[in-house]
Structure 1
Amino acid sequence: MKLPGHDAMARRAEEQVTPHPVRLPRRAVQKPLRQVAKRLLLALLVLVVTALIVYADHAGYGDNADDSVDLLDAFYYATVTLSTTGYGDIAPVSDGARLVNILVVTPLRVMFLIILVGTTLEVLTERTREEWRQSRWRSSLRDHTVVVGFGTKGRSAIETVCTGGLRKNQVVIVDPNLKAVEIATNDGYAGVLGDATRSEVLLRAEVQKARQIIIATQRDDTAVLVTLTARQLNRGAKIVVAVREEENAPLLRQSGADAVITSASAAGRLLGLSVLSPSAGMVMEDLIQQGTGLDLVERPVTKPEVGSRVREVGDLVISVVRGHRVLGYDDDSIGGLQPTDRLITLVRTSRPAQIAPDIRRIAGE
């Protein structure tokens, strides 16, 4: 059964189909008009050089009309020669002129043709080059992060993850909006254009090989369908979903989401906290902005910390992750730290050396 909004999104995706639904980031290139103008100027330069070479030895050329070759005749000869038209009314008659035609004019003719047809050849070979790039990209892509929806939520989420160490070439954006995909590729991410509720679209993003999936769609019903589809294609990936309404969170968890963030209620709680204590609100805002001020970091227990109490750890421990349970720092059941425990700590960003390796491993680098 399709939920409301699914057909509309599917139609929009179909209307925006392009020959290459997967778009890879690329270096900045010149605008087409500038490229054409540059090629024309080069062709004109070759023509002028050829005409001057011919005119410099005009005595070695014969003209069927009046037996003399002036500057206009030199440009005429250069034009018909470089364009391979070759009327034959003007021809080199001396040995020197013929030698110049062999060693100089002929290479210039080849250069002239290459310049003129270069744009056409580039267009014809663009599709082949793009298919080769995509084939190489697919073969090397694994343990990456797929972001469904490149709106405000999706963009902020992936910026935060990249701050923790994830490389941009390990991120694939999926969005039905062509402009959003173009923005993503301009930012250095790979982009897939299409409706993420469809398996073939997620397969283009290699979701079956992804380590983690971030779903930040505009509608909650779309998020449910994407989560179901993604979980069916990848049983082991970590799926984090953002929803608008808190009542939809249980449905997302049943659909296969590992974590569900309610954007509306989270924003409301932050607003309320800022009313009660503006300073506390500023601290919370700082905590959710990775890479600035104070950061919340999840890391494993080190060997020297095994058996220690939470308060004996050098970092400020907020919680202890033991198995599938998250225990508060003051929970008496924690006891001594175990080798398999993970600590959620509060650290300053000026201490990246201790936490960076584990962050990169978590993020998928």
Structure 2
Amino acid sequence: MIHLPLVRQGPLRALAVRVVAAVVLVLLTVSVIYADRDGYRDLNEDGLTLLDCFYYAVVSLSTTGYGDITPVTSQARLVNIVFITPARVLFLIILVGTTLEVLTDQYRNSLRVNRWRRKLKDHIIVCGYGTKGRAAISALLETGYDKSRIIVVENREIALRQATANGLVTIEGNATRSSVLLEADVKNCKAVIIATDSDEASVLITLTVRQLTAGQVRIIAAVREQENAALLKQSGAHHVIVSSSTAGRLLGLTTTTPPLIDVVEDLLTPGQGMALAMRSAERSEVGSNPRELQTLVVALIRRGKVVALGGEHAETIETGDMLIYIRDEEKSLPVT
């Protein structure tokens, strides 16, 4: 089931509004009838009391109409034509309003889903909206990626509500199932990020994605244990991040060389200090040594592989290279 972000009125509030509207309409009808009670005839011919007016209003608005109280004067009949009949129609609309709203919401949601599917292109599927999934989406948004092209696949109700509340498109279901991934249009997506809490689930999702896409979609997965990284690589993941070993290495660096962890945190924290960035090599930079550029280049991406700049052999920039450099986040912030 696809859930598009939507701000909706609470069901209790919607029901309360309808109840109040129905009561107000009944009271207004009673007041009109009571003011013109002399124009009505009762079978008992003892005149209309306030209770009789309530009774006539309810049976009239509900279209029951027992006929024991009837308008006999021209004025009373005119009031029935001008006021009671439209009030009866309005009362019925209020009673069936909930059903109409449900049908309308379903139709409107179907139109929104169809419109969303037509515009969907180069989207990214994030399997899991836990700590890792939320952090991955935050990183995507920080790089300027369109939020509407991010799809969260999750089967936990709380996580689904959080993702929808944050304006993300969500699909309820288990990402290990082919039908759920096909609902997310996995065959035409740009990449799949696997951020589940279980290494076993990550392997199953990777195998399913590879089977559905014939290996044409990039798969980025996170695992807890180092020994499962090779299994994920064999299953078809292009990049595997081991969360436990990465956290352990950072803990070790913090113990032995505390300043290093500050630099790493600075690089990973968006909006302040330094940040890693990537850009295409400019024509004027081709043939130059990356170390001679004004920006601090730390690596080159050449034909999909990382070219380290260390060692005795001096690398030069070639056409088509991507430069990995350190950007000053504070200088790149827009001036307000």
> When the two structures are superposed, what TM-score results if normalisation uses the length of structure 2?
0.90
User: What's 2:85 paired with?
Assistant: 106
2:31 is matched with which residue?
52
Do the aligned partners of 2:302 and 2:320 also contact (CA within 8 Å) in 1?
Answer: yes
Q: Deviation of residue 99 (structure 1)?
A: 1.8
- Name the amino acid aligned to 1:240: I
Q: Verify: 1:82 aligned to 2:61, yes or no.
A: yes
Q: 1:264 aligns with which of 244, 251, 255?
A: 244
Alpha carbons 1:145, 1:170 under 8 Å: kept: yes
Contact 1:164 1:290 in 2 (8 A): no
1:11 is aligned to none
Pairing partner for 1:28 from 8, 11, 25:
8
User: Which structure 2 residues correspond to residues 136-151 of structure 1 after superposition, within 5 A?
Assistant: 136-151=115-130
Q: Say whether residues 1:214 and 2:214 are aligned partners.
A: no
Amino acid at match of 2:237: A
Q: Hey, what's the Cα distance between the residues in 1 that align with 2:293 and 2:68?
A: 94
Instruction: Give the aligned partner of residue 304 of structure 2.
Output: 324
Q: Which residue of 1 aligns with 2:219?
A: 239
Identity %: 46
More relative contact order, 1 or 2 (CA 8 Å, 6+ apart): 1
Contact 2:154/2:160 (<8 A) preserved: yes
Could you give the per-residue CA deviations for residues 48-69 of structure 1, whole angstroms, max 9, x where no partner exists?
1111122222232222322523
1:334 aligns with 2:325: no
The number of residues matched between the two structures is 332
Offset from partner CA, 1:104-152 (integer Å, 9 cap, x none): 2211111111111111333355444444433333332221110112221
Residue 207 (structure 2) aligned to one of 228, 239, 249: 228
Inter-partner Cα distance in structure 2 for 1:297 and 1:227: 27
Q: 1:94 aligns to what?
A: 73
| Secondary structure of 2:139 counterpart | helix
Q: Aligned residue for 1:156? A: 135
* Residue type at the aligned position of 2:177: R
**CA, structure 1 residues 208+352, in 2 after alignment: closer, same or farther (shift >3 Å)?**
farther
- Provide the residue aligned with 1:179 in structure 2: 158
Contact 1:164 1:291 in 2 (8 A): no
Contact 1:160 1:289 in 2 (8 A): no
Counterpart of 1:3 in structure 2 is none
Gaps of 5+ in 2: none
The CA deviation at 1:160 is 1.4
Secondary structure of the structure 2 residue equivalent to 1:320: strand
Aligned to 1:346: 326
AA in 2 matched with 1:195: N
Q: Distance in 2 between matches of 1:76 and 1:198?
A: 58
What residue identity is the alignment partner of 1:293? G
Give the direction of change, closer, same or farther, for the CA distance of 1:305–1:24 in structure 2 (3 Å limit).
same
Match of 2:319, SS state, is: coil
Q: Could you report, residue by residue, the CA deviation over 1:150-183 in whole angstroms, capped at 9, with x for unpaired residues?
A: 2211121111111211222211112233332232
Gap runs ≥5 in structure 1: 1-20, 355-365
Contact residue 211 and residue 236 of structure 1 kept, 8 A: no
1:210, CA displacement in angstroms? 0.9
Q: Is the 8 A contact 2:40 2:70 kept in 1?
A: yes
| 1:122 alignment counterpart | 101
Q: 1:196: how far off?
A: 1.8
**Greater CA drift, 156-165 or 218-227:** 218-227
